[in-house]
Amino acid sequence: MNPLRVGILGATGMVGQRFIQLLHNHPWFRVTEVAASERSAGKRYRDAVNWKMAENIPSDVADLTVKLCKPSELRSSAQSCDFVFSALDSDVAGDVELEFARAGIPVVSTAKNYRMEHDVPMIIPEINADHIDIIPIQRKNRGFDRGFIAVKPNCSLQSYLIALYPLHRQFRMTRLIITTMQAVSGAGYPGVPSLDIVDNVVPFIGGEEEKSEQESYKIFGTFSGEKIEHTSDIIISAHCNRVPVIDGHLATISVEFEKKPSREEILRLWKDFRSVPQELELPSAPDPVIYYREEENRPQPRLDRDAGQSVYRDARVDHAGVHYDGVDQVHVSQSGANYAEANQFGMNHAGVNRAKGMAVTCGRLRPCHIFDWRFVCLSHNTIRGAAGGSILLAELLKARGYL
Amino acid sequence: MNPLRVGILGATGMVGQRFIQLLHNHPWFRVTEVAASERSAGKRYRDAVNWKMAENIPSDVADLTVKLCKPSELRSSAQSCDFVFSALDSDVAGDVELEFARAGIPVVSTAKNYRMEHDVPMIIPEINADHIDIIPIQRKNRGFDRGFIAVKPNCSLQSYLIALYPLHRQFRMTRLIITTMQAVSGAGYPGVPSLDIVDNVVPFIGGEEEKSEQESYKIFGTFSGEKIEHTSDIIISAHCNRVPVIDGHLATISVEFEKKPSREEILRLWKDFRSVPQELELPSAPDPVIYYREEENRPQPRLDRDAGQSVYRDARVDHAGVHYDGVDQVHVSQSGANYAEANQFGMNHAGVNRAKGMAVTCGRLRPCHIFDWRFVCLSHNTIRGAAGGSILLAELLKARGYL
Amino acid sequence: MNPLRVGILGATGMVGQRFIQLLHNHPWFRVTEVAASERSAGKRYRDAVNWKMAENIPSDVADLTVKLCKPSELRSSAQSCDFVFSALDSDVAGDVELEFARAGIPVVSTAKNYRMEHDVPMIIPEINADHIDIIPIQRKNRGFDRGFIAVKPNCSLQSYLIALYPLHRQFRMTRLIITTMQAVSGAGYPGVPSLDIVDNVVPFIGGEEEKSEQESYKIFGTFSGEKIEHTSDIIISAHCNRVPVIDGHLATISVEFEKKPSREEILRLWKDFRSVPQELELPSAPDPVIYYREEENRPQPRLDRDAGQSVYRDARVDHAGVHYDGVDQVHVSQSGANYAEANQFGMNHAGVNRAKGMAVTCGRLRPCHIFDWRFVCLSHNTIRGAAGGSILLAELLKARGYL
Amino acid sequence: MNPLRVGILGATGMVGQRFIQLLHNHPWFRVTEVAASERSAGKRYRDAVNWKMAENIPSDVADLTVKLCKPSELRSSAQSCDFVFSALDSDVAGDVELEFARAGIPVVSTAKNYRMEHDVPMIIPEINADHIDIIPIQRKNRGFDRGFIAVKPNCSLQSYLIALYPLHRQFRMTRLIITTMQAVSGAGYPGVPSLDIVDNVVPFIGGEEEKSEQESYKIFGTFSGEKIEHTSDIIISAHCNRVPVIDGHLATISVEFEKKPSREEILRLWKDFRSVPQELELPSAPDPVIYYREEENRPQPRLDRDAGQSVYRDARVDHAGVHYDGVDQVHVSQSGANYAEANQFGMNHAGVNRAKGMAVTCGRLRPCHIFDWRFVCLSHNTIRGAAGGSILLAELLKARGYL
């Protein structure tokens, strides 16, 4: 199989950089185009970007010429692209993404512009993979041919919705009070000034509480075949805070259910949770999806944000986040594990665990004196909550034939 | 009036240091004894202490000889002390405090040991000043003569209980879900290792959630003249977290009342709130007690932790935390403000505002989708929440004749 | 004496805010005008500014209308101003400051634009107060009438030049290797992105090393009555780094002298150092100017940045930074210390110590294996190094009749 | 080849944990014993340790029973060990390490106790690999049979000595002034209290400057076959500071040579530097050893501390730290890369790059106004500077037949 050719819109920003880092040696996708604003267009990517990842710019991307964010620009090239990831700021994403979809180029976006549109699927692949089947309706509504827009939700709610989903499916969540402690990388670059956050907490992030609440209702909604019905059975009240942490959004949860699950039921549901991405063995799908830490003081952003092991393994291991455990030893040695096979393992030739940072980690499950249960959740906001979540969505779209 | 002679038990620890800093030039109290463990006993205070305050050791305390934490030690001195502040660790506070009370020396303590004892008053002077009148019963119960034990509650709940109290008094609070983001100074010194907290949040503080809940029920309880009846009308569920902030505990609040107050009623109750310490014009009493910040992103620990102006002023000013506004200009200039009078102003001769860090700051009042209201609270954990709160309690005890 | 009326150019930025905070209740100067860019002009100051100081906006400034940075704007008002402090960014400071000087309004500036001009005095008042006498030559050169431009040097070198000066005066410094660890407030607001500095150090600050070197040569230069001769006897090599600290620039020093001083000579020179601002008893002049900390691990930014006591005291105290020790007790009680006198003490009516953050703190004096001595220096970069240093310069100019 | 059986002394501390993490799936060494103090002895490792690594405890080590640090304890086991890594605190390392050496068990230590002993090799394998040949003399001197003690130097100097060595070899370094900005992990756990380092820098680390100077003279010394002659041609003067960074020691360097190299010569020497570990293709040897970053603001701890690629590669890549580039693609695909071969690549079966964090990164090379050149260096203090450096030393000892 030839990898799909991918363009990155907003390639020089923080989320754009994270896309490029995560897509390096991806088994299904190859970055062939990078696009950004006029200030960068025409330069080599390595010269245009203020690279902020700890790993270096992948050499094949470093020398690409940055294009403008226009379909004609990306198509004029011989390489072109089969679809684009959009990491654009919301002030330009609206028009640009629409233009690409109209031009027949599917858009998988991290921007907020189309999230609440009734015919745009907003997807956490483990929760509402079926919502992507609204795409034909979207195409029809909007006169798109091959193009469409699919989006991931806000980074903040991804720290806890995945953990709540298996409980909700069985016990029907009714009320939820959340406080998030969110990392500075969530605000992009330059983002949060250091003068605002060193020795400080800022108890406000513009629009974040509203998104945490409203987007959840859509994601937990049902797709009838015609439309996505937002759930009205759940009420959520969120408090969003910025803390001096680089990566990793943490959330404290108090939750009430129609029927109160037991502690054992919750832990069992978390341990056993597998969903569409795991069944489809998508390259970036983590398995386990949810870790539960028994220690009384976990999860913690710095220790748990990178948790996640690729789905392709024979033997399970009993602990989180060890990226060198991301592939099963027995399997490898038995199969003679050559390069081609290694790719099938959700790992690239050098053993990268593609699901690093894609799992959610829970801890401190204890009764709530007011609702049913209290606990703590954490996920990596720029991997699971942004670029990684979008890549998983694109893998889902590919597996389901939309790309 | 001669100032009372005060001993500090646990004088070399962080809270002990804060006591010494805050008591410098106090109009009613003078530190005449410092006591600590065997390791320090016999040394000059300046040699025994690992001083961590930004201000220097007050010179009159720096040369005191550190004593052991025994009544006989403190009494053998010609200076002696009229009462003691205890900043002892809970593993020794139990025995030592009892010994002092038995020896006829009143103890005002920050330790947790006696907080839940039925005959020990646990006081936030603006809320339950009347509970101190259980002291005669305590003396009788325990056979104390002049001695007694009075305590302040855990630092964490002091960020929000004061703000909730005037609302509760009028509208009866029923349910409360809180998430705290607590400063590292709350754990003392050496306390939280930097490896645990740089680029991190720890979603657990041992015993803190239980204390936040249980101690609140006692503080909001009623003293019948015979006993303190804990309130059973309120349910509290707390999530306590440690964040990389030096000083200042922040809390997000979702609260429900029997009768839902309007936004205007809440703001009015906060603005107008004055209580016993303000009426008694205690030197460390802040006025206003509660600030409300209109900015959407306040309170913040670094900007708001030092809020608090002394109660003695003629003209009110409309904003928080300006320590150079801590005394009324008109009053001073009219009175000729000599040194003696300056002391009466809750300020020392050099204009220190004794109530700095004693106020509570609120912000972000907005409806809660589940309960009635959401908001954010902040107070200085080692001033209002520890040493400063204890000094205010001692001032109350003095004003009421117990010292 | 009526206070001089002062305008602040660039009043909404970080340094502008610091000026306003420090000038609150200043005995000689009163802020009557605030000016900023078109975006702010016409608004009330309280609405135009994103206030970042821990203290609130002084109420008399909060309601001023923001003007444009034009002499005609500031003059049209009845209040007008006798001189201006410029906290402008260097990209506009050049033209604006010139325009004010031409219009007859003296400019005391923190901007770098005119620092290296041969007829502009760049002053650290304790070192080269005599350089201000180039002002008549500047006026003549440039055809200014009453106006002129006087500047303070870069914030970084102010952490150590003051400590080196008394040693240099007696023992002639020849070579100096410095490494600075500079606070984020030095970059203004929004300044350093948190993503660049949390869990990190940035070993580069644009232009800072060159300024640290070149500006020092001018400050240590001699004014002949005709011109300022830069020193050519000293060679400086600087390494400048940004660290995750809010305020306070720290520097490690290795220094060589023509004649090596003894340890005792150095400590004596530091202890005894008084200069023109102390002799003139300027309100913001610290005394002592230089503290030496005996502890092996001091100075530290968080503990020592606020060091500095006002010059007006009778009895010296032996330690740093106790702002409530900023006035002499004996003096006050003997004199009956009324409001008028308190002002004469370099303190405002509420006892503010005007020299807080104006002292330099040294520590760790030990032999250098290569040069003569090694030590560590610290000063507050936005007080001594920026706004406070400029205010002290303006006080000097006033005392010397230039304002 | 059967892997050697390794014991870890001080296995529960921070450096001990790092050893266990780095030795997971090591091709030559297998952890078979963990030893610690009485408090831990007898427990399972997973229960005894307060694990602080982001990756989990390797499952084969997690269930080992912790032994006491006595040769008899480790030998009584059927598994036993062929040598030990000592991560002991210096207060116990002296006796324990001697006891193991006497018992015939070689000790590779991170402790400082024996570093300056004339017959103990203190090794940075890229610099003075030949010093290990003093081991026979040590054995003879001390009556050891199979046992010996070999040590790595202090973590701080490892950030810059490796970068200076190729320059020194050719141009003879004469004088060196260094300022380090060191990470908190260098102090172990609990180590640096957060109250000391949040919003702060501590300009002192006990004994660090002396070690930085003295140990360098020994490492740059020559082994005559009889003894190690410390160099006396170099003078070093160090300033050591603690900064709020988790991992990664940064140093600013001013250096003078007998003969001044050109910029091109320096960059060429750094680029081409390969030494014994690279020639021997040791599993943890990085290649390149030294990276030079062209950006004006690099190296930075958070971005560059993990730099390092394994030595076994056919095709070089032009950039640093991409751990998924740690193995050569062409080589792998041509060879069919099975599990056994992957191990030979300095990578474990899952593609771990063993040299991650083992390289040194330089930047900002520019003339020094006083000496010849200024630049900035960085290395990972707990990998290159501690556990990783010791593992590389053990690999050297193994390759040379001492283990």
Bridge partner list, C227: none
Question: Catalytic residues of C, which ones?
Answer: 155, 249
Q: What's the CA gap between B196 and D52, in Å, rounded?
A: 8
Please report, as a single letter, which amino acid is at residue C242: R
Assess whether pLDDT exceeds 60 at residue D350.
Answer: no
Residue D104 per-residue DSSP state: T
Gap between the Cα atoms of D205 and B255, Å rounded: 48
Shortest CB distance from C244 goes to which of A190, A192, A198?
A: A198
Closest-CA distance, B52 to chain D, in angstroms, reads 8
Whole-number percent of chain A with pLDDT over 70: 88
**pLDDT tens-digit readout, A143-183:** 999 999 999 999 999 989 999 999 999 999 999 999 999 99
- How far is it between the farthest Cα atoms of chain A? 63
Residues A245-258, mean pLDDT to the nearest whole number: 98
Band of residue B321 on the pLDDT scale cut at 50, 70, 90: very low
Place of tokens 């962080």: B14
Mutation for testing the B interface, residue in A156, A250, A252, A305 having most B CBs under 10 Å: A252
Q: Which residue of D has its CA nearest to A324?
A: D350
Closest in B14, B189, B244 to D198, CB measured: B244
Mean per-residue pLDDT, A202-206:
98
pLDDT for residue C93 is more than 70: yes
Mean pLDDT computed over every residue of chain B: 89
Classify residue B57 by its DSSP letter: P
Cβ-based contacts of A189 with chain C (< 8 Å): 193, 195
What DSSP character marks residue B388? H
Q: Is B249 a catalytic residue?
A: yes
List the alpha helices (DSSP H) in B287-347.
301-304, 329-335, 339-344
CB contact under 8 A, C317 and B59: yes
Q: Do B250 and A201 touch (CB under 8 A)?
A: yes
CB distance B254–A177 less than 8 Å? yes
Residues D59-95 pLDDT 10s: 999 999 999 999 988 876 666 799 999 999 999 999 9
Question: What residues contact residue A278 under an 8 Å CB cut-off, 6+ apart?
Answer: A126, A285, A286, A287, A289, A311
Nearest CA-CA distance, residue A347 and chain D, Å: 9
- Cβ-Cβ contacts under 8 Å, D236 against chain C: 369-370
Chain centre distance of CA B143: 28
Both structure tokens of C321: 């930074």
| Nearby residues of C181 by Cβ (< 8 Å), 6 or more positions away | C201, C241, C243, C245, C249, C250, C251, D181, D201, D241, D243
SS (H, E, C) chain A: CCCEEEEEECCCCHHHHHHHHHHCCCCCEEEEEEEECCCCCCCEHHHHCCCCCCCCCCHHHHCCEEEECCHHHHHHCCCCCCEEEECCCHHHHHHHHHHHHHCCCCEEECCCCCCCCCCCCECCHHHHHHHHHHHHHHHHHHCCCCCCEEECCCCHHHHCHHHHHHHHHHHCEEEEEEEEEECHHHHCCCCCEHHHHCCCCECCCCCHHHHHHHHHHHHCCEECCCCEECCCCCEEEEEEEECCCCCCEEEEEEEEECCCCCHHHHHHHHHHCCCHHHHCCCCCCECCCEEEECCCCCCCHHHHCCCCCECCCCCCCCCCCCHHHCCCHHHHHHHCCCHHHHHHCCECCCCCECCCCCCEEEEEEEECCCCCEEEEEEECCCHHHHHHHHHHHHHHHHHCCCC
pLDDT at B320 over 90: no
Chain C, nearest residue to B246 by Cα? C302
- The residue-averaged pLDDT of B80-100 equals 95
Catalytic one of A24, A131, A249, A380: A249
Confidence of residue B76 (pLDDT cuts 50, 70, 90): low
DSSP type of residue D56? P
Inter-chain CB proximity B191 and D196 less than 8 Å: no
| Single-letter amino acid code for the residue at C195 | L
Task: Report the complex ipTM.
Answer: 0.90
Q: What is the pLDDT of residue A56?
A: 87
- Higher-scoring residue by pLDDT: C77, C16: C16
Q: How many helices (H) and strands (E) does chain B have?
A: 16, 14
What separation, in Å, do the N-terminal and C-terminal C-alpha atoms of chain A show?
A: 14
A275-289, D201-215, D319-333, D338-352: range with lowest mean pLDDT: D319-333
Do residues B247 and B183 touch, judged by C-beta distance below 8 A?
yes
- Quick check: is B155 catalytic? yes
Amino acid (one-letter) located at B243 = V
| Long-range pairs for D97-100: beta carbons < 8 A, 24 or more residues apart | D97/D9, D97/D149, D98/D149, D99/D70, D99/D71, D100/D9, D100/D71, D100/D147
Q: Of the candidates C52, C190, C198, which has its C-beta nearest A184's C-beta? A: C198
Q: Does residue C45 carry a pLDDT above 90?
A: yes
Contact A327 D349 (CB under 8 A): yes
Regarding beta strands A249-257 and A173-182, do their DSSP bridges make them parallel or antiparallel, or are they unpaired?
antiparallel
Burial D143-167 (b: 16+ CB within 10 A, else e): ebeebbbbbbbbbbbbbbbbbbbbb
How far apart are the CA of B144 and the nearest CA of chain C, in angstroms? 39
Residue A339: the pLDDT is 31
D308 in Cβ contact with D355 (< 8 Å) = yes
CB atoms B203 and A297 under 8 Å: yes
* DSSP designation for D86: E
Distance from C-alpha of C211 to C-alpha of C230, rounded to nearest angstrom: 14
Mutation site, C57, C245, C295, C324, interface B, largest B CB count within 10 A: C324
pLDDT at site A1: 67
- Here the tokens at position B288 are 């206003």
* Touching partners of D (3+ C-beta pairs < 8 Å): A, B, C
Comparing CA positions, the residue from C79, C99, C100 lying closest to residue C30 is C79
Scanning B198-351, the segments in alpha helix (DSSP H) are 208-219, 263-272, 276-279, 301-304, 329-335, 339-344
Q: Do the Cβ atoms of D195 and B15 come closer than 8 Å? A: no
Contacts with A203 from chain B: Cβ below 8 Å: 250, 252, 297-300, 363-364, 376
At residue C352, the pLDDT reads 65
Distance CA B208, CA B219 (A): 16
Q: What is the pLDDT of residue B73?
A: 85
Averaged pLDDT score across all residues of chain C: 89
Chains in contact with chain A (at least 3 beta-carbon pairs closer than 8 A)? B, C, D
Provide the pLDDT confidence category of residue D299 given band limits of 50, 70 and 90: very high
Cβ-Cβ pairs closer than 8 A, A with D, add up to 122
DSSP state of C237: E
Task: Work out the average pLDDT over B126-133.
Answer: 98
Return d(Cα D41, Cα D69) in angstroms, integer.
9
Taking contacts as CB-CB distances below 8 angstroms, the residues of chain C near B52 are 303
> Testing the interface with C: which of B322, B333, B339, B361 to mutate, by most C Cβ within 10 A?
B322
How far apart CA A315 and CA D18 sit, in angstroms, is 26
Q: Which of A381-385, C322-326, D69-73 has the highest mean pLDDT?
A: A381-385
- Point out the residues of D that are catalytic: 155, 249
Percent of chain D past pLDDT 70, that is, above it, reads: 88
**What are the Cα distances from residue D251, in Å, to A128, C241, C380?**
51, 10, 24
Q: Which residue of A has its CA nearest to B297?
A: A204
The average pLDDT across D43-47 equals 97
Both tokens of B42, joined, read: 């016999």
- pLDDT band at residue A77, thresholds of 50, 70 and 90? low
Contact D215, D154 (CB under 8 A): yes
Residue A336 has a pLDDT of 29
DSSP C238: E
* Selected residue of C14, C194, C246, C303 to mutate for chain A interface (largest A Cβ count, 10 A): C194
pLDDT at position D338 is: 31
Higher pLDDT, C320 or A394: A394
Q: At what angle do helices C161-171 and C263-272 cross, to 10 degrees?
A: 120
Place of tokens 């002892």: B88
What region, left, alpha or beta, does residue C364 occupy, with left being phi > 0 and alpha being psi -120 to 50 degrees? left
Range with lowest mean pLDDT among B346-355, C268-277, D256-265: B346-355
**Residues of A in Cβ contact (< 8 Å) with B217:** none
Tell me the average pLDDT across C103-114: 97
**Predicted local distance difference test score (pLDDT) of residue D215:** 97
Residue A375: closest C-alpha in chain B: B239
Alpha helices in D191-316 (DSSP H): 194-197, 208-219, 263-272, 276-279, 301-304
Q: Which of B266, B168, B327 is nearest to C352 (CA)?
A: B327
**Confidence band of B77 (pLDDT split at 50, 70, 90):** low
Chain C environment of B56 (Cβ under 8 Å): 319-322, 325
